[in-house]
Structure 1
Amino acid sequence: MAQISEEKADRKDEFTEDVSKAEESNASAVGTESDEDISTIVTGSRLALIFGAFMMAFSLVALDQTILSTALPTIASRFNAVGDISWIASAYFLPQAGFMLFFGRVLAIAPAKSVFLVTVGIFELGSLFCAVAPSVDFLIFGRAVAGLGGAGMWVSIMSIIARITTMQQRPVLMGLFGAVFAVASVIGPLIGGAFSDHVSWRWCFYINLPMGAVALLGIVLILPNHPPTTKSKESQLRVWLNLDWIGTFLSVAVVIMFMLPLQWAGSQKPWTDPAVISMLVLSVVPVIIFVLWEKRRGEQAVLPLSFFNRRNICGAFLEAGFTQIGFVVAIYYLPLLYQIRGHSATKSGIDILPFMISVVLAALISGALVAKTGQVWPFMFIGPIVAAVGFGLLFTTDANTPLGKLIGFQILAGVGLGSILQNSVIIAQAEYADNEALVPQATSLITFMQIVGSAIGLAIAGGIFSSQLRTQLTLHAPALSADTRSAVLSSIEAISTLDAADKALVKAAYSAAIDRMFLIAVAGCGVGSLMSLIIRRRKIVVRSGAAAL
C-alpha cells in the first residue's frame, strides 16, 4: 500500500518554477524519504463502512447550518422571540468556528476516534436540548452545544480520513465530502420547511438523534482506536494542562467579536449601528493579543504561526475563504431568482438542483482526476474562474430571463465551485504528509477559514442586498405606498398580492438587487483564483512510501 510523506521542497525556488522541474525535484526526493508506518491504513469493505458512517455524521453538521433558515419564523412565533432570530443562528456558527482550531490541536494529543465519539455525543446532546427546548434561551444554549460538537466532528472526520487512507485515495474521498456538504446545504431549508409546516419544527433537531446514533455505533464497532499522532512522556493530565487554553480563549474571542457584528449588520442592525462598529473595531485587540501569544507558544500553539511560512498553506487558506463567499451567495440568493417569479420556497429549492448536481459531479470528477494525475493546482486556478464566469452571466439576468439560460449559468457556476470545494484541504494535508501530527491542525485551519468566509460572504451580501433593494424599489417603483413598500421589503411573498403593474415593477427591483449579489460572488471567486498563484505548481506524487506536493 502506498504511504504518505512530503517532499522537503526548497523554499528558495523561484515562484515561476515550472511543473516539470517540480516533478524532477519530487522524483529525486524518492530515495531520501523515510517510509512511514502503514498500520493505520484501512481498505476494502471496512473502509467503505467507516466512510459511510463519517458521511452520515458530516451531513448532520452541514445540515444544521441551513435547516433552520425556513423554520426560524415558526420558531420565533412559537416563543414570541422575533428579536432573537439572529442569536438562534449565530449560536451554532460561533462555537463551531471558535473551537475549530482547538480541536485541531486536541487531535494531536488524543486518539482521533475518542475525539470523534465524544464530540458526536456533544452534538447529539445539543440537538436533544434544542428538540425539547421549553424557551428560546434554552434553544440558543442547545445550538451552542451542538455547534461545539460539530466543530470537533468536522475536524476529527477529516483528520481520521487523512490517517486511514492513502494520498491517492484522498482526493476522491474529499470530493465525496464536498458533495455531501453541497447537498446538505441545499436540502436543509427544504427539510426545515417541510418539518415546520407539516410536523413540528422540533423535528429539525430530533432527526439528528437516530442518524448520529447510527454513525456513532458504526465507528465504535469498525474504526480502530489508533494512538495520538504526538507521543509524550508526560502524564495525560500534564499533556492536557499544557494545551494552549489561553490561545483557545483568544481564538473564540476573536471569532465572536468579528463574526457576531457581521451576523447583525444589514439584517438585525444597520452597518452604522454603534454596536456593530465598536465590535468590529475592538476585534482588532484580541487578534493582536492572539498573534503575540501564539508566537510565544511556538509549535505548542493552537495555531502555530509557522504554518504561514509555507506558501501552499497560505494560498489554500486564503482561496478557501474567498471562494466560499461565492458558494454561500449561490445557496442563499439563487432561490430568490425563482421566488420573484412566484415559485414557492420548496419549489425554488428544487429549481437550483442544476447548481447542486453540477457541484456534486464536479467535486467527484475533480477528485478522481487529482487522484489519477496528481495535478491539483490547475483546478485551484481555473475552477474559480469558471465559477466567476457563471456568476457574471447570472448578473445579466432579470425576472424575464428564460429558464434555460438560468439553468446553464447555474451549471457553469456549480462546476467551477465543485472542482475546488475540498482541494484546499487536500493541499494542506499533502503539505504536512511527512509530519502526521500537524495534519489535524492544518485541516482545522482550512475548515476554519471556510466557515469564516461563509460568515463574511453572508454579512456582506445581506447588507448590500438590503440596501440595494431599497434603492432599486425607489428607482423602479417610486409610487408604491409606504405600507406596500414595507410589505415587499419584509417578505418576497408579498409580491403575489400586488396588481399586475406594481408586480412587474417590484420584480424588476428585486431582480436588480439580486444581480448585485452575483457580483459579490464574482469578486470572491476572482480573488480566490488569484490566491492560487501563491500555491506551488507541484503535483501530488504517490509512490512507495511517499507523497509530495
Structure 2
Amino acid sequence: MSSDREPAACIILPKYLNIEDLSCTLEVDKKFPPLYELPTVHKMASTPSISETSPPTPDVSTIPDPERTVKKKRSQMELTDQTNLLPFRKIIIAFLGLAMCMVVSTLDSVVVATAIPTISAAFNAGSVVSWVPSGYLLTSTSFQPLYGRLSDIFGRKAALCVAMGVFMVGNLLAGFSKTIVQLIVFRGIAGAGGGGIISMSQIVISDIVSLRDRGKYQGLIGGVVAFGYAVGPLIGGALAQKVSWRWCFWISVPTSLIAIVVVMFVLPLKRVEGDIRRKLLAIDYLGAGLTLGGCTLIILPLIWGGVTFPWKSAVVLAPLFSGFLVVMLFCFWEWKGARLPIVPMYIFKHMTVSGVYITMFINGFVYFASLYYLPQYFQTVLGYDPIRASVFLVPLLVVQIFTSWVAGVIVSRTGRYKTIIHLGFAVWSIACGLISTINPHTKKALLVIYMMLAGIGAGQTFQTTTIAAQASVSRKDMSVVTAFRNFIRLLGGSLSLAIGATIINNSLRASMTSLSLTSSTISSIIDDPSKLSSPSSIGISQDTATEILLSGYTKGFKSLFVLNASLNAVATIASVVMIRHKDLSRDDKKKEEVEKAVEGQAEGNEKSHLEKEKEGV
C-alpha cells in the first residue's frame, strides 16, 4: 500500500469543518486495511506536515465512522430528503392548492355540528346521533401520527392525495346514508382521510419554504384553518335549514376533487425513489396497529364518560386502562423494535419538542372546548338560533386569523418565537378567565371584547409552536414531529369535549335534582340543554328554567372556563421553562454533505475490497 495516500476523510472533512489540518492516525482493522483508503485520492503537496506546524489535533471521535455508517444504513431504510425550496411565485401557487385542502378539511370538521338536530330528527336517532361527530373525531385523531411516516416512505404528494381521496369518498358515501349506522361508519372513513390533511399541508410547506421564512406561511395556515372553523357552522346551519342535511357532506366532494387536481399538477415535490415492494415492507405495521388500537381504547371511553355511561362504570374504565397499556406497549415497540418507527422515541429527548407537545395538548383542550361550548352557551342561555350563535364566534376567529399571520411575519423577520408563545398563552389565560364571568346579563359588547382577546392569545400559539418543534430536530424527523404535534392537539380536543360535558352535566343534574324534577325531564335537558330556551316544550315553567340556567348550566360553564384559564396558565409556565430558542438558519445542508462524503468513501472502499477478494479467489 502506498504511503502517500490518506483517508478521504482527511481531505474532505477539513473543507466543511474549517479544520486546517487533521490527524489521519485512525485505528484500522488489520484484516481489512483497504476499507479506509481511496486509491484515487492523493495527498496534496501543500498539506503541512503534522510534525511541523500542527495545531491541536481535533477529537477523532467526532468524525463520522464509515464502518458504523454502513452498518446503520443496512439496518435502517434510508429516507429521501424531500426538501425542495421554491421561489416566491411557485410558493404562492402551491400554497393556494394547500389552502384549498385545509379549508375543505376544517369546514367539514365543524359543518356537521349545527346540522346534528336535523340529522337526529331525520333518522329518529336520539342520543346515538352524537356518534356522527364522535366517529369522525375518533378516526381523524387515530390516523394522525401515521401520515408523517407514510409521507416519508411514499412521498408528500402521494400521502396528501390519499388523505384527500379517502376523505372525499367517505363524505360522498355519508351523503347517501340510509341509516344512522351507515352515516357513522362513513363519517369514520372520512375522518381517516381528514386526519392527515392539515398535517400533510404543514409538512409540505416545511419542504418548500426555508425554516426562517416558514413562520409567515405557517401563520397563513393558521388563518386558513380559523377561517374554516368560522364559516363551517354558518354553512352547516344554512344547508340543514334551507336545503338538506346531506349537502353538509356532499359540499366537500367537488371542492376536494378540485383540490386533488391542484395538488397533483401544481406541487413540484421530489419523487421518493424505490420500488413499491420495498416501500410497503418499510411500513411499521405493528406500530400502526398499536397506534389505532390505543387511540380507539382511550378516545371511546372519553366520548362515553359522563354522557353515555358514568365515569366509574366498567364500560368506561376497562377500555381506558387497556388503552394506556397499549400505549405503553407502543412506546416500547417504537423504542426497541421498529425498524422505521412511526414516532421515534428519541424526539422526546429534545426539551423544546416535549414542551411543544405539552402546550399543544392544552391548546387543543381549550380551543375545542371554546369552539363547542361557547355556541352552546349562546343557544342555551341567550336563546339564539344555531346560525346566530355561530356568528358570535366570528370575532374570536377573525382576530385569530390576523394574529396568526402577524405572529408568523414577526418570526420570519426576527427569527425569534419564544416571547410570542409565552405572551399568547398568557393573554389566552386572561381571556378565558374573563369569559368565565359572563352571565345572561353581560353586555354583548363585552362578549365581543372577550372573544377578540381570546383570538389574540390563540393566534399566537398555533403555528409558532410548529416552528419551535421543527427547528429543534433534523430534517429527517420534521414530518413525524409535525404529525405527532397535531395528534397531541386533537387528543387534547377529544378530552376537552368529554370533560366539558361531564362538568356541565353534573352541574345541571345537581341543580335539577334540588328542584325535584322527574328523571325523564332531567335526561331530556342533559341530552339537549338548548331545550331550556323553550321550557314549555319539556313541561316546566319559565322560572324553573331560569333557575336551572343560573344555578346549573351557567355554573358549569363557569367551572369549565376557569379550568381553561388554569390550563393556559400551566401552558405559559411550561413554554417559559421548556421551549428553548433555536437558530432558524441552521446548517443541515453542510452536515448532510459531510455524511454523504463519508458514506461514499465507506461504500466505495467496501466494494473495492470485495472485488480484490474475488480476484484473489
How big is the shift at 1:547? 12
**Are residue 457 (structure 1) and residue 500 (structure 2) matched?**
no
SS at structure 1 position matched to 2:585: strand
Determine the structure 2 residue equivalent to 1:74.
118
Q: Tell me which amino acid in the other structure corresponds to 1:511.
A: T
Determine the structure 2 residue equivalent to 1:236.
276
TM-score of the two chains, using structure 2 as the length reference: 0.77
Alpha carbons of structure 1 residues 483 and 132: separation in structure 2 relative to 1, 3 Å: closer
Q: Return the match for 1:421 from 454, 462, 486.
A: 462
- 1:53-452 mapped onto 2 (5 Å cutoff): 53-228=97-272, 235-297=275-337, 300-339=340-379, 340-432=381-473, 435-452=474-491
Stretch deviating more after TM superposition (215-224 or 446-455): 215-224
How far apart, CA to CA, are the structure 1 residues paired with 2:168 and 2:521? Answer: 44
How far apart, CA to CA, are the structure 2 residues paired with 1:519 and 1:148? Answer: 33
Q: Tell me which amino acid in the other structure corresponds to 2:166.
A: I
Stretch deviating more after TM superposition (484-493 or 357-366): 484-493
Deviations 1:391-430 (A, max 9, x none): 1111122211122222222222221111101222111222
How far apart, CA to CA, are the structure 2 residues paired with 1:457 and 1:543? Answer: 37
SS at structure 1 position matched to 2:509: helix
How far apart, CA to CA, are the structure 2 residues paired with 1:457 and 1:39? Answer: 36
Stretch deviating more after TM superposition (486-495 or 214-223): 486-495
Q: Share of identical aligned residues, percent?
A: 26
How big is the shift at 1:485? 5.1
Contact 2:214 2:412 in 1 (8 A): yes
**Are residue 532 (structure 1) and residue 532 (structure 2) matched?**
no
How big is the shift at 1:493? 3.5
- Structure 2 unpaired stretches of 5+: 1-16, 18-62, 64-79, 592-617
SS at structure 2 position matched to 1:156: helix
SS at structure 2 position matched to 1:401: coil
Alpha carbons of structure 1 residues 135 and 481: separation in structure 2 relative to 1, 3 Å: closer
Alpha carbons of structure 1 residues 492 and 79: separation in structure 2 relative to 1, 3 Å: closer
**Are residue 493 (structure 1) and residue 508 (structure 2) matched?**
no
- Structure 1 unpaired stretches of 5+: 1-7, 9-31
Deviations 1:193-223 (A, max 9, x none): 2211111111011111111112111122211
**Are residue 511 (structure 1) and residue 558 (structure 2) matched?**
no
Contact 1:472 1:513 in 2 (8 A): no
How big is the shift at 1:185? 2.3
SS at structure 2 position matched to 1:85: helix
Tell which structure's C-alpha radius of gyration is larger.
2
How big is the shift at 1:501? 3.3
Contact 1:541 1:547 in 2 (8 A): no
Q: Tell me which amino acid in the other structure corresponds to 1:260.
A: L
Deviations 1:237-258 (A, max 9, x none): 1232131100000011110000
SS at structure 1 position matched to 2:382: coil
Alpha carbons of structure 1 residues 306 and 483: separation in structure 2 relative to 1, 3 Å: closer
Determine the structure 2 residue equivalent to 1:17.
none
How far apart, CA to CA, are the structure 1 residues paired with 2:83 and 2:491? Answer: 36
TM-score of the two chains, using structure 1 as the length reference: 0.86
Contact 1:312 1:428 in 2 (8 A): yes
How big is the shift at 1:341? 1.7
Determine the structure 1 residue equivalent to 2:30.
none
Determine the structure 2 residue equivalent to 1:520.
563
Alpha carbons of structure 1 residues 59 and 226: separation in structure 2 relative to 1, 3 Å: same
C-alpha RMSD of matched pairs (Å): 2.6
Question: Which one has more relative contact order, counting CA pairs under 8 Å at least 6 apart?
Answer: 1
Stretch deviating more after TM superposition (357-366 or 43-52): 43-52
Stretch deviating more after TM superposition (300-309 or 493-502): 493-502
SS at structure 2 position matched to 1:283: helix
